[in-house]
């Protein structure tokens, strides 16, 4: 993983040098070539090779230090506030002095830095800056840098030599004196760094705002062979900076967290945006969106099969699932594979999800990942969406990891997906959800789970996107029977409040023999309420479904059979809607009108 991060940093042209780091400044202090204040410009601007000190370097020894060229408005403008303690005020003043002192020292190699120092020396000019900060209502903790005329001094390179010398002279920048070891990232002999730079941007998934460590050991129980701190996973200082810059670059470009984790992805050879199947937001696009994962996967699979894109055949993809736990990064999963395998896997995923619409019209081949995750927690009709996602973050971290592996590597879905989807369906029915049909998204997950279970066992799957009259499972046809009985009651009695589905679905889906037997007997009462033609139509329906069930209803259903029961119900209900709308298939018409 570290090696691939190193290659990514190289391909992206990241600075990846000790003492430097990409940083954002929210404000730019604009001054003239003579060092006079012009104005305070509000702009968020990324500077790729900013001078940077690690926390250990900032606090080493007795001297109070600041960052160079880019720091907080409070430090640059020397504003300590009226409410701060005398100690806090003294700390701000010392940081400001250190900031100005570095400008003085570095001005020997760059005249523009002398201009910056002249500006900070002038009490009148500094007061103008302080007043501008008040007028703009800027936060004192916001990062800022200085622009002389049109030149951002942090972006020029003439001061780099001075800065490298300055960093090497700091207490924490000195050599550790430890024996050479093999670097985990490069494989070369290096003097291992005792501590590594921290990663930014993981606060949304549990990381600390001050940064999160990837490699860190601070407990005796975590050490081995007498190796302390980060020497347990030896990397040079340079290597630590490389993987830090790579991770920070990926984190900035990552999509929103999913179930409490951030998914970082990249390729061995960079691919264009239109070929990026690992843009996880694409899984949230509609089928009509040309950038959706389904559209991309179809197009790429065809181009690979026809040999039009040989450049994709030998490419590799990498996915890193990560979150923060206090001051440390948790690597929850790491996987990689060939790009061609990725394309095939994503196509297979959408094929397995494909399911007829709940009203028997069209075929849905996917949906938002967030929507699928919502079907894997219990249904609470009146719950705020934010509370639902809070439960997703808490409950589905492990499940989501397996879900992505199933999507990207054609693996089986965990049984947890089926049990949770079934629980969601039952909860939705019990709480008065729409009885027109079962939830389509939850049923799509069940279909994918069943298809992959069949593949895992080496069986040919009998699950289709719509009704399969020849399905071999009695449980599937028991679900169909439930759908017909529900439709019969609706036709006979109309809206009766808590209908047969709300009252009996949960028990029928686990012990069909106990429940469906009684419902079939009561069907005679409902048939007597209908006109002869409609009653005969339902009798033929019930007889046809009974043929699929066989000689007896199943007594109890396994998890897989419960999933088949739900799918049988859903697809039969969709087929009944299609008959009413005149959009049913020819095969279905023949079956429905038999005898």
CA dist 383 → 369, 371, 374, 471 (Å): 19, 15, 12, 38
pLDDT at 289 over 90: no
- The tokens of 345 are what? 């896997």
Model confidence at 582, pLDDT cuts 50, 70, 90, reads low
Out of 165-169, 492-496, 528-532, 576-580, least confident range: 492-496
**Highest mean pLDDT: which of 193-202, 315-324, 496-505?**
315-324
Model confidence at 211, pLDDT cuts 50, 70, 90, reads confident
Give me the mean pLDDT over the 437-452 stretch.
94
Number of neighbouring beta carbons within 10 Å of residue 280? 19
- The tokens of 228 are what? 């302390």
**3-state DSSP call for residue 546?**
helix
Taking all residues of the chain, what is their mean pLDDT, rounded to a whole number?
86
In the chain, what are the domain boundaries?
A: 18-171, 175-253, 270-317+339-456, 474-592
The answer to whether 443 and 570 are in contact (CB under 8 A) is yes
| Residue 116 burial (C-beta neighbours within 10 Å; 0-12, 13-18, 19+) | buried
Model confidence at 82, pLDDT cuts 50, 70, 90, reads low
pLDDT digits (tens, 9 = 90+) for 515-573: 888 888 888 888 888 888 899 999 999 998 999 898 888 899 999 999 999 999 999 99
Instruction: Name the residue among 325, 369, 357, 374 with its Cα closest to residue 467.
Output: 357
- The tokens of 319 are what? 């996915």
């Amino acid at each position: 993983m570290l090696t691939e991060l190193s290659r990514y940093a190289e391909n992206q042209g990241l600075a990846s040098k000790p003492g430097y780091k990409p940083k954002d400044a929210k404000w730019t202090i604009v001054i003239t070539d003579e060092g006079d204040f012009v104005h305070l410009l509000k702009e968020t601007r990324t500077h790729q090779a900013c001078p940077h000190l690690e926390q250990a370097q900032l606090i080493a020894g007795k001297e109070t230090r600041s960052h160079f060229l880019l720091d907080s408005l409070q430090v640059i403008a020397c504003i300590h506030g009226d409410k701060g303690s005398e100690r806090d005020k003294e700390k701000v003043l010392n940081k400001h002095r250190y900031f100005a002192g570095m400008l003085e020292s570095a001005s020997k190699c760059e005249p523009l830095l002398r201009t910056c120092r002249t500006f900070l020396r002038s009490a009148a000019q500094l007061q103008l800056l302080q007043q501008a900060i008040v007028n703009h209502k800027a936060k004192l903790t916001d990062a800022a840098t200085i622009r002389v005329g049109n030149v951002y001094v942090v972006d020029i390179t003439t001061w780099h030599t001075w800065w490298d010398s300055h960093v090497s002279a700091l207490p924490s920048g000195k050599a550790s004196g430890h024996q050479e070891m093999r670097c985990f990232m490069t494989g070369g002999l290096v003097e291992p760094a005792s501590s590594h730079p921290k990663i930014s941007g993981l606060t949304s998934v549990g990381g600390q705002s001050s940064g999160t460590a990837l490699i860190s050991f601070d407990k005796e129980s975590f050490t081995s062979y007498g190796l302390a701190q980060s020497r347990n996973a030896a990397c040079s200082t340079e290597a630590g900076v490389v993987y830090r810059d790579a991770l920070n670059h990926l984190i900035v470009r990552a999509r929103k967290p999913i179930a409490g984790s951030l998914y970082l992805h990249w390729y061995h050879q960079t691919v264009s945006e239109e070929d990026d199947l690992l843009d996880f937001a694409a899984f949230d696009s509609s089928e009509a969106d040309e950038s959706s994962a389904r559209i991309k996967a179809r197009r790429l699979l065809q181009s690979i099969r026809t040999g039009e894109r040989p450049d994709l055949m030998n490419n590799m993809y990498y996915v890193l699932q990560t979150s923060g736990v206090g001051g440390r990064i948790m690597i929850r999963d790491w996987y990689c594979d060939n790009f061609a395998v990725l394309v095939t896997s994503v196509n297979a995923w959408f094929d397995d999800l494909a399911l007829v619409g709940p009203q028997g019209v069209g075929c849905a081949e996917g949906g938002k990942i967030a929507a699928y995750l919502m079907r894997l927690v219990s249904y609470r009709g009146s719950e705020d969406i934010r509370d639902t996602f809070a439960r997703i973050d808490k409950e589905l971290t492990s499940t989501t990891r397996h879900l992505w592996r199933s999507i990207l590597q054609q693996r089986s879905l965990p049984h947890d997906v089926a049990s949770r989807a079934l629980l969601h369906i039952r909860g939705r029915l019990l709480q008065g959800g729409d009885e027109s049909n079962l939830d389509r998204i939850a049923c799509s997950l069940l279909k994918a789970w069943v298809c992959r279970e069949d593949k895992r066992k080496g069986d040919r799957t009998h699950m289709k996107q719509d009704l399969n009259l020849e399905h071999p499972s009695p449980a599937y046809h028991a679900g169909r029977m439930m759908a017909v009985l529900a439709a019969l009651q609706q036709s006979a009695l109309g809206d009766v409040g808590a209908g047969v589905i709300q009252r009996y679905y949960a028990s029928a889906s686990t012990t069909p023999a106990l429940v469906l037997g009684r419902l079939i007997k009561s069907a005679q009462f409902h048939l007597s309420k209908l006109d002869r033609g409609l009653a005969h139509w339902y009798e033929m329906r019930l007889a046809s479904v009974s043929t699929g069930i066989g000689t007896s209803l199943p007594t109890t259903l396994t998890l897989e059979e419960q999933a088949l029961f739900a799918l049988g119900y859903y697809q039969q209900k969709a087929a009944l809607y299609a008959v009413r709308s005149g959009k049913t298939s020819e095969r279905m018409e023949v079956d429905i009108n038999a005898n």
